[in-house]
């Protein structure tokens, strides 16, 4: 576990190097495993979460080879040979590391097979709630058990002979929905998931792209998804850039004076453009140039932000970006509220508590009221970043908390000309960043050099 000291930066200029979308990468790997034949994926995320899913499908029988571009091996580009016919019982537990998405999605996948699979992860994953997938997968006919009465990992799963269900998750979760749908692809009859508040639709989009028998029905903020058993064809697809990572560059470019940054080919499909909507409501200067059906190029210039209220569908669509949006709120003028954000307490950390502690240490007026996060922005650099001290901050082994606090420290450069010595922050366990964005700090340093 490595501590990292982050100091004030410089205005950001140029093109941000954003990794491939993590959520899409997970699903493309899984669909390639299920597909009978060879699939090509280009632009995969290099984060540890995605590497864990790649290792899991290899342990289940898939083979993964690097593809070459102009004779050079590309770690982001792979050729996968998969197929249900080659699936095998894993000899060892499938270690999903810090990836809640990976563990929950793979639980749905292995529930299709009549062999034994054990899913494990790191300390954080073993604290995260799993009853939300154990319940529906058990109803479909799989046998699942785990710690605390089957509510916590490790999960022990023996699947096979599944039957589709009609299920309404108790809380919005794309991971739960996807776990059920991935199991439903190998179940008898029709599998239906009804969401009262629609969540991100990466799995549905993959099914639609590959021509699988899936139907979606939107009514207001709700979503009904129906899927029949099907075989997955091999494919060739590119992974767009990750909006959750793009949000860090967008917020930094908005709050660091004199910045102008291009972010290319960002995925902005259903449920993934929430961070953009929030920033625009706050007064951000962002030009959106549509590139494909669900992708766009963003040009972000620094701007004076104002407080806002984030709730309901908008909160669901920006749930993973709340830590960095909270930093935007800290630099904005006025109050920002994130309402009814209980789901943030069940992420890699209790993100409501982690954000409150981290921003408080920087001198921000922030508090949680039940499951609501309230931030009073002063329109400038947080007070403690102007004291010329070293401020210890905890990441809680959460990549998004570590990255958000880093951006907050970098933006202190706004007062570099008026303050003799700006504070540095020391973030513990900074290696957690590798979960989603290896090279995060290097990407920002490259923008500062332009």
pLDDT tens figures, 396-441? 999 999 999 999 999 999 999 999 899 999 999 999 999 999 999 9
DSSP string, 298-359: EEEE----B--EE-HHHHHHTGGGHHHHHHHHHHSEEEEEE-S-GGGGGSSS-HHHHHHHHH
pLDDT score, position 426:
98
DSSP string, 104-150: HHHHHHHTTSSSEEEEE--TTGGGS--HHHHHHHHHTT-EEEEHHHH
Task: Express as a percent the part of the chain with pLDDT over 70.
Answer: 98
Alpha-carbon span 327 to 279, nearest angstrom = 11
pLDDT digits (tens, 9 = 90+) for 127-158: 999 999 999 999 999 999 999 999 999 999 99
pLDDT-derived band at 68 (thresholds 50, 70, 90) equals low
Cβ atoms of residues 323 and 344 within 8 Å = no
| Of residues 435, 419, 437, 341, the one with CA closest to residue 382 | 419
| Of residues 390, 387, 379, 400, the one with CA closest to residue 426 | 390
pLDDT at 74 over 50: no
pTM: 0.92
CA pseudo-torsion sign 395, 399, 405, 409: positive
pLDDT at 70 over 70: no
pLDDT at 450 over 80: no
Report the run of H or E that residue 411 belongs to, with start and end.
none
Average pLDDT for residues 351-360, to the nearest whole number?
97
Domains of the chain from N-terminus onward:
4-19+241-449 (3.65.10.10), 22-228 (3.65.10.10)
Annotated catalytic residue within 21, 76, 320, 434: 320
pLDDT score, position 209:
97
Summary mean pLDDT of the chain: 95
Annotated active-site residue 320? The verdict is yes
390: helix, strand or coil: strand
Among all chains, which residue has been given the structure tokens 């997938």? 133
pLDDT score, position 50:
97
Residues 6 or more apart whose CB falls under 8 angstroms from that of 287 comprise 298, 299
pLDDT digits (tens, 9 = 90+) for 191-205: 999 999 999 999 999
Average pLDDT for residues 316-335, to the nearest whole number?
97
Residues 63-89 as b/e (b if ≥16 CB within 10 A, e otherwise) read ebeeeeeeeeeeebbbbbbbbbeebee
pLDDT-derived band at 292 (thresholds 50, 70, 90) equals confident
| Of residues 365, 357, 347, 423, the one with CA closest to residue 394 | 357
pLDDT at 73 over 70: no
pLDDT-derived band at 274 (thresholds 50, 70, 90) equals very high
| Of residues 230, 248, 235, 218, the one with CA closest to residue 182 | 230
pLDDT digits (tens, 9 = 90+) for 100-133: 999 999 999 999 999 999 999 999 999 999 999 9
pLDDT score, position 449:
74
Average pLDDT for residues 325-346, to the nearest whole number?
96
Neighbouring C-beta atoms of residue 2, cutoff 10 Å: 10
pLDDT score, position 6:
96
pLDDT score, position 224:
98
pLDDT at 75 over 70: no
């Amino acid at each position: 576990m490595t501590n990292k000291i982050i100091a004030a930066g410089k205005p950001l200029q140029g093109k941000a190097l954003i990794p491939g979308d993590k959520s899409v990468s997970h699903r493309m790997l899984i669909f390639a495993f299920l597909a009978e034949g060879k699939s090509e994926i280009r632009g995969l995320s290099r984060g540890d979460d995605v590497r864990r899913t790649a290792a899991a499908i290899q342990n289940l029988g898939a083979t993964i080879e690097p593809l070459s571009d102009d004779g050079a091996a590309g770690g982001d580009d792979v050729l996968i040979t998969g197929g249900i016919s080659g699936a095998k019982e894993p000899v060892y537990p499938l270690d999903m590391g810090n990836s809640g998405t990976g563990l929950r999605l793979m639980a749905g996948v292995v529930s299709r097979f009549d062999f034994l699979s054990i899913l494990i992860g790191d300390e954080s994953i073993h604290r995260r709630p799993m009853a939300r997938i154990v319940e529906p997968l058990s109803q479909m006919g799989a046998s699942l058990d785990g710690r605390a009465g089957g509510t916590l990992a490790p999960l022990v799963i023996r699947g096979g002979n599944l039957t589709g269900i009609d299920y309404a998750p108790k809380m919005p979760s794309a991971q739960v929905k996807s776990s059920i749908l991935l199991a439903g692809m190998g179940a008898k009859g029709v599998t239906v998931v009804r969401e009262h508040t629609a969540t991100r639709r990466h799995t549905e989009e993959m099914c639609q792209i590959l021509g699988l028998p899936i139907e979606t029905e939107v009514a207001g903020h709700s979503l009904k998804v129906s899927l029949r058993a099907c075989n997955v064809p091999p494919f060739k697809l590119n992974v767009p850039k990750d909006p959750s990572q793009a949000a860090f560059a967008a917020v930094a470019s908005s709050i660091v004076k004199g910045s102008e940054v291009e972010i290319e080919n960002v995925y902005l499909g259903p449920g993934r453009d929430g961070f953009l909507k929030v920033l625009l409501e706050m007064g951000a200067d962002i030009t959106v140039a549509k590139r494909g059906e669900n992708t766009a190029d963003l040009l972000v210039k620094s701007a004076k932000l104002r407080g806002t209220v984030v709730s309901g569908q908008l909160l669901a669509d920006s749930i993973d970006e709340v830590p960095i949006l909270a930093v935007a709120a800290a630099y904005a003028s006025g109050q920002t509220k994130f309402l009814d954000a209980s789901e943030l307490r069940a992420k890699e950390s209790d993100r409501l508590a982690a954000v409150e502690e981290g921003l408080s240490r920087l001198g921000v007026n922030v508090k949680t009221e039940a499951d609501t996060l309230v931030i009073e922005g002063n329109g400038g650099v947080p007070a403690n970043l102007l004291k010329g001290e070293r401020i210890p901050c905890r990441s809680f082994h959460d990549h998004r908390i570590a990255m958000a606090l880093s951006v907050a420290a970098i933006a202190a450069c706004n007062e570099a000309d008026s303050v003799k010595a700006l504070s540095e922050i020391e973030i513990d366990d900074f290696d957690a960043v590798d979960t989603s964005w290896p090279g995060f700090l290097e990407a920002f340093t490259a923008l500062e050099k332009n």
